[in-house]
């Protein structure tokens, strides 16, 4: 059970990091504006882009640490699942602009957890 709970915690933290990356890149690319529907943390000036970028990085660090701890506990197959999950989180903003966003979400939150 402990490994499963650790994996769940890692998934949640990776997801939060991915959301922060997505918000950061949407704002930087001009997708999120004052007149668009969605989260307004950047467009309202509540947070600066650098703060959201740092949040994404700050969330990625403990997620990677959880993943590495699981690799130590369970073996190398976790490493590849974790690397794929991290890449999904990091590349999601870029891929969603190219119509692959839903595919990345499917891989990150259906395929990889099932394999793990």
Instruction: Provide the pLDDT for residue 25.
Output: 92
Mean pLDDT for back-to-back runs of 10 residues, the chain (116 residues):
91 92 91 82 93 97 94 88 90 90 92 88
Q: Report the distance separating Cα 24 and Cα 10, nearest Å.
A: 21
pTM of the model: 0.83
Q: Report the distance separating Cα 28 and Cα 40, nearest Å.
A: 13
């Amino acid at each position: 059970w402990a490994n499963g709970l650790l994996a769940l915690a890692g998934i949640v933290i990776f997801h939060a990091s991915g959301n922060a990356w997505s918000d950061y890149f949407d704002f930087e690319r001009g997708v999120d504006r004052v007149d668009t529907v969605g989260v307004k943390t950047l467009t309202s000036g509540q947070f600066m882009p650098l703060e959201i970028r740092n949040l994404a990085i700050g969330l990625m660090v403990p997620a990677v640490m959880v993943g590495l701890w699981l690799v130590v506990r369970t073996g190398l197959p976790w490493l590849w699942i974790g690397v794929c999950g991290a890449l999904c989180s990091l590349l999601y903003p870029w891929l969603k602009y190219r119509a692959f966003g839903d595919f990345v979400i499917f891989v990150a939150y259906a395929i990889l957890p099932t394999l793990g």
